[in-house]
Amino acid sequence: MPPYFPKISIVTPSFNQAAYLESTILSVISQGYPNLEYIIIDGGSTDGSVDIIKKYESKIAFWVSERDAGLYDALQKGFEKSTGEIMAWINSDDMYHRKSLFLVADIFERFSKVRWLMGSNTFYDEQGNSFLYENDAYQQRCSKWRMYLNDGNYIQQESVFWKRDLWIETGSYIDKNYALAADFELWSRFFRKDELYTTSYILGGFRLRTENQKSLDLRNQYIQEMKTVLNRELKLEEGKAYLLYCKSALKLSSLIPIKKWRDRIRIKLLKLPKKIIFDRHKGMIFSKR
């Protein structure tokens, strides 16, 4: 547990999500984090969401229910109201895991160079049961080069937290020109300034629903917006040349017969930062590689 509790600002954008909103709210406020600034921006819901918000308004720093221009407009409103040293958002059908805010505060306190953090990817089914997919080839570690490869593994927004100074350095805004991939656009600007550190600790989870889920229903549009962002970013530096080299070298690495050596080469090629893990003797530490 950290010696002091930095203010954590959490924003929840919501519109007609009464079926899930209460679970989201409880996943935030029931943690008991003593320096929480929780903000809910509702887009003028008509399904009972406002009654749910009012039920917990004593635990909410600010909330409003009014028409807006969508998810990212609501997020921008929320972040403009926020004052916390650590920032994040959780959508109105997703949830944080127990004590995750305490974990986040502890990690940022222990590892001063970490300004941007992602927890281990976790998911919820429609009933709120948590589960994991099989671990990926790089132990859920990420870098901008891995993001540029577009290998089907994305940064899980629900478990991402960052320092306010990184937000300020990258313009303090959500780009509302992207209807679906404004999160991806924000990550691309974060990568210009710093590495994304990951941890094997679980922080937040994405709820998979059977209907009315934009991230799944409009996946092709999301991918097109994502490609637009990637093309922009690759023009800013050595991007295209290194990416071509990286793709070729990764293919060659598949010929290496010993998995340990193969993984080490791939981690180096993708410039993946060390991961924050648990050690039974030392507690929370950076991985060796």
Q: Write down the pTM of the prediction.
A: 0.92
Residue partners of 75: CB distance under 8 A and separation at least 6: 11, 13, 41, 89, 174, 182
46 by DSSP, 3-state: which? coil
Please name which of 178, 167, 283 lies closest in space to residue 230, comparing C-alpha atoms: 178
Q: Please state which of the four CATH numbers 3.30.465.10, 3.30.470.20, 3.50.50.60, 3.90.550.10 is assigned to the domain occupying 8-236.
A: 3.90.550.10
pLDDT tens across the length of the chain (289 residues): 556 799 999 999 999 999 999 999 999 999 999 999 999 999 999 999 999 999 999 999 999 999 999 999 999 999 999 999 999 999 999 999 999 999 999 999 999 999 999 999 888 888 888 888 766 667 778 899 988 887 656 799 999 999 999 999 999 999 999 999 999 999 999 999 999 999 999 999 999 877 666 666 678 888 899 999 988 988 876 778 888 999 999 999 999 999 889 988 999 999 999 999 999 899 999 998 7
CA triplet 119, 106, 88: central angle to 5 degrees?
A: 50
Which residues are within 8 A (CB) of 102 and not within 5 positions of it... i.e. 6 or more apart?
Answer: 1, 2, 31, 33
Q: What angle do CA 171, 174, 180 make, to 5 degrees?
A: 150
Structure tokens at 111: 């590892």
Query: Which spans in 173-258 are helix H?
Result: 182-193, 214-217, 219-234, 239-253
Collapsed DSSP state (helix, strand, coil) of residue 263: helix
The domain spans of the chain are: 8-236
